[in-house]
Amino acid sequence: MGPEPGRGGGTPLLDRVHRPADLRGLDGSTLAALAAEIREFLIAEVSRSGGHLGPNLGAVELTIALHRVFESPRDRILWDTGHQAYVHKLLTGRKDFSRLRAKGGLSGYPSRAESEHDLIENSHASTALGWADGLAKAYRLAGRTDRRVVAVVGDGALTGGMVWEGLNSLVDQDLRVVVVVNDNGRSYAPTRGGLARHLSARRTAGGYERMLARAKRLREVPVAGAPLYGALHGVKAGIKDVLAPQGLFQDLGVKYVGPVDGHDIAATEEALRQAARFDGPVVVHCVTRKGNGFAAAEQDELDQMHVVRPRSADGAPPPADWTSVFAEEMVRIGAERPEVVAVTAAMLEPVGLQAFAERYPDRVFDVGIAEQHAVTSAAGLSAGGAHPVVALYATFLNRAFDQVLMDVALHGCGVTFALDRAGVTGSDGPSHNGMWDLSMLQLVPGMRIAAPRDGARLRAQLREAVAVEGGPTAVRYPKGPVAADIEPVGRAGAAEILALPDGPGDVLIVAVGPMAAAALGAAGKLAAEGVAATVVDPCWVKPLDTGLLTLAEAHELIVTVEDNGRVAGVGAALAQAMRDAGIHRPLRQAALPQEFLAQAGRGEVLEQAGLTAQGIARDVTDALARLRATDQEEEIL
């Protein structure tokens, strides 16, 4: 269950802030009260709607300071990733969180459609410095010296290679970019790797903690009505060479400011103003605490309430989901096969590897937000005799396609990709829908792809996948409650028949993975209209079994149903296989439109795309009517 909603007497200060300029006339005590109101608002609203709570509670004061120092949208503030931008939304006039991450409501990430204060919204980590590099170059070419570019990155994002590629370019071009490192020591889980250990050593050094406390006391001493910044600078200058990790950045040619307490608005503002005066790239190192100000989040050892789920009306526990089925089966496989290891990219718990890690801690490798490295490292593990299972959200496999193709497949490595959140995810918006993997992986020679329709098939096909040693395999499954098991009524080679009419079939419905339930529902509706439908699950959608071709030849129309884009998906692969085999039957592809889909619930998106029992049945009857009216022999409808 999520946290209890916040209590309080409303948000009178927040109600007065409609744009960032409204912050600039507020004094220190008022700003502190505003920060408290924002926390109460976030705890109440995000607990109800679901969303990213911990990251935003940790970024309250930092965001206030950013908007007091920089003038958005003239100055561009780029959030990497955007799940920490809820406070930014509030301070730029977006206060209706009643439908956060729901159809027609606020996005859970920055959104250009919502506000001129948002520029990037893809929500894939480690990209902001690339954007910043390009923006700063464009402003320099246009002679726009009045605009600053600010990239806010978490320390978790620093584990991604693109950050360092971007930083290298910023230095090479001496670009006026402020890089704010929001260092809370975590992404979903604690940040891993050498850089994380380096930052942690500085963050937790006793001298640094004493410096922050002394600096705070000095700022509270007025001198002629102003904070004693000169004394503060003296304290910082005296210890920075010992405690601050500026060498890490300054050796690269980047000016460094910090570390600074990111929950101290005055200190953070002063650090940002120093950075803004510098004519070149500069890093501002802000130390924050994820979930700050909310005890339940601070004490959540797993992920400090990185994400909270919407509160159910009756308080019932959520049903078992696909991820938990994968998690349980991985533990069983691990007990039987010591060569099986797990690889993930900063998402150990979200992809279901926590239990495996607890049982087999030496066989789990979290490489940070570095999908490309994860895949190539898995190739190396395979070459050394292990069988790695690379567990990722399907949308993040996009980032490592070259490595899948050239490092894993080209070398015939036995690597299994467990692709969670495949297909429509819905509430996380267009960047998180896993609707590209079936199309991308169709291009990979030697790749085998399983699309389980239910929990029993997920367990079985995961076992089949890890038994393959001569090339890559992938098992893809969606977000949400696991589908009820559907037992086959027959077989056609490796494909499983789920529904078979008494007589000759009019239409063959090829149901990919979890679309089986909708396909069976459509077959029932079609039967009521006198249309005989056979429903088949290919089980393994690459390569397609020849039994599927035999079934296709025996039907008047073939309809493929998949939770993937129409281009180059399973429907396209079956059409090609039929042509290659000389089978001349019309084929209709029911799939997701090849576009970025607006946020909504998974069911809402599928309904809009026609991927429901009613929508599929309607497609079939329309296609049959056109086919019979024109007496076509072959067409992709």
Mean pLDDT of 398-411: 95
196 annotated as a binding-site residue: no
Residue 241: per-residue pLDDT: 39
**What span, in angstroms and rounded, lies between the C-alpha atoms of 492 and 131?**
51
- Is residue 471's pLDDT more than 60? yes
**What span, in angstroms and rounded, lies between the C-alpha atoms of 553 and 549?**
6
**What span, in angstroms and rounded, lies between the C-alpha atoms of 389 and 344?**
8
**What span, in angstroms and rounded, lies between the C-alpha atoms of 535 and 525?**
13
Q: Which contiguous run of DSSP H or E holds residue 55?
A: helix 54-57
- Is residue 414's pLDDT more than 90? yes
Taking Cα atoms as reference points, which of 262, 258, 203 lies closest to residue 236? Answer: 258
Residue 274: per-residue pLDDT: 93
Q: Is-contact 326 366, C-beta < 8 A?
A: no
Q: Quick check: helix, strand or coil at residue 78? A: strand
83 annotated as a binding-site residue: yes
Residue 244: per-residue pLDDT: 47
Residue 506: per-residue pLDDT: 93
Cα within 13 Å of Cα(422), Cβ side: 33
18 annotated as a binding-site residue: no
Q: Which contiguous run of DSSP H or E holds residue 548?
A: helix 546-553
Which residue type does 98 have?
A: S
**What span, in angstroms and rounded, lies between the C-alpha atoms of 418 and 357?**
16
Q: Is-contact 441 542, C-beta < 8 A?
A: yes
DSSP at 527: H
Straight-line distance from the first to the last Cα atom of the chain, in angstroms, rounded to the nearest whole number: 46
Taking Cα atoms as reference points, which of 24, 126, 29 lies closest to residue 69? Answer: 24
The size of the chain, in residues, is: 637
Which residues pair with residue 114 across a beta bridge? Answer: none
Mean pLDDT of 292-321: 60
Encode 12-52 in three state secondary structure: CCHHHCCCHHHHCCCCHHHHHHHHHHHHHHHHHHHHHHCEC
Residue 198: per-residue pLDDT: 55
To which residue do tokens 């809820």 refer? Answer: 86
Q: What does the pLDDT look like over 374-384, one tens digit per residue?
A: 999 999 999 99
- Is residue 314's pLDDT more than 80? no
Q: What is the mean pLDDT of the chain?
A: 85
Q: Residue 80: how many CB atoms within 10 A of its CB?
A: 34
* Residue 220 pLDDT grade (very low, low, confident, very high; cuts 50, 70, 90): very low
* Residue 240 pLDDT grade (very low, low, confident, very high; cuts 50, 70, 90): very low
Q: Hey, what are 385's tokens?
A: 């005799």
Whole-prediction pTM: 0.79
156 annotated as a binding-site residue: yes
The set of residues, in sequence order, having a beta carbon less than 8 Å from that of 344 and lying 6+ positions away, is 351, 353, 364, 365, 366, 367, 374, 390, 391, 392
Residue 309: per-residue pLDDT: 57
Q: Hey, what are 167's tokens?
A: 């930083």
Residue 156: per-residue pLDDT: 79
Taking Cα atoms as reference points, which of 447, 475, 448 lies closest to residue 460? Answer: 475
**What span, in angstroms and rounded, lies between the C-alpha atoms of 504 and 519?**
18
Q: What does the pLDDT look like over 65-115, one tens digit per residue?
A: 999 999 999 999 999 877 888 999 999 999 988 888 888 888 888 888 889
Mean pLDDT of 611-619: 95
State the Cα angle at 497 between 495 and 499, rounded to 5°: 160
- Is residue 315's pLDDT more than 70? no
431 annotated as a binding-site residue: no
123 annotated as a binding-site residue: yes
Residue 587: per-residue pLDDT: 95
Q: Quick check: helix, strand or coil at residue 256? A: strand
155 annotated as a binding-site residue: yes
Q: Hey, what are 553's tokens?
A: 């030849």
Residue 17: per-residue pLDDT: 93
Which residue type does 477 have?
A: Y
Residues designated catalytic? 290, 371, 399
State the Cα angle at 315 between 309 and 320, rounded to 5°: 60
Residue 237: per-residue pLDDT: 37
- Is residue 522's pLDDT more than 70? yes
Q: Hey, what are 376's tokens?
A: 């190539």
* Residue 317 pLDDT grade (very low, low, confident, very high; cuts 50, 70, 90): low
**What span, in angstroms and rounded, lies between the C-alpha atoms of 484 and 504?**
28
The set of residues, in sequence order, having a beta carbon less than 8 Å from that of 139 and lying 6+ positions away, is 145, 147, 149
Residue 601: per-residue pLDDT: 84
Sign, CA dihedral 533-535-536-541, equals positive
157 annotated as a binding-site residue: yes
Mean pLDDT of 509-527: 96
The set of residues, in sequence order, having a beta carbon less than 8 Å from that of 317 and lying 6+ positions away, is none
Q: What does the pLDDT look like over 162-216, one tens digit per residue?
A: 888 888 888 888 899 999 999 886 544 555 555 555 555 555 544 445 445 544 4
State the Cα angle at 588 between 585 and 589, rounded to 5°: 135
- Is residue 242's pLDDT more than 50? no
Which residues pair with residue 481 across a beta bridge? Answer: 321
Task: Kindly give the residue spans of alpha helices, DSSP state H, lying in 313-446.
Answer: 322-336, 354-359, 371-383, 394-397, 401-403, 437-441
The full set of domains in the chain, from first to last, is 14-296 (3.40.50.970), 322-476 (3.40.50.970), 490-630 (3.40.50.920)
DSSP at 406: I
Which regions of 239-310 does DSSP assign to beta strands (E)? 255-261, 282-287
**What span, in angstroms and rounded, lies between the C-alpha atoms of 567 and 526?**
27
Q: Which residue has the higher pLDDT, 404 or 210?
A: 404
**What span, in angstroms and rounded, lies between the C-alpha atoms of 616 and 609?**
10
Percent of the chain surpassing pLDDT 90: 58
Q: Residue 340: how many CB atoms within 10 A of its CB?
A: 19
Percent of the chain surpassing pLDDT 70: 83
* Residue 305 pLDDT grade (very low, low, confident, very high; cuts 50, 70, 90): very low
Lowest average pLDDT, out of 24-38, 219-233, 414-428, goes to 219-233
Q: Is-contact 306 466, C-beta < 8 A?
A: no
Residue 530: per-residue pLDDT: 93
Q: What does the pLDDT look like over 128-149, one tens digit per residue?
A: 898 899 899 999 999 999 999 9
Residue 228: per-residue pLDDT: 33
Residue 120: per-residue pLDDT: 87
Q: What does the pLDDT look like over 268-288, one tens digit per residue?
A: 999 999 999 998 999 999 988
Q: Is-contact 541 573, C-beta < 8 A?
A: yes
> Please, is 116 exposed, middle or buried when counting C-beta atoms within 10 Å of its C-beta (0-12, 13-18, 19+)?
exposed
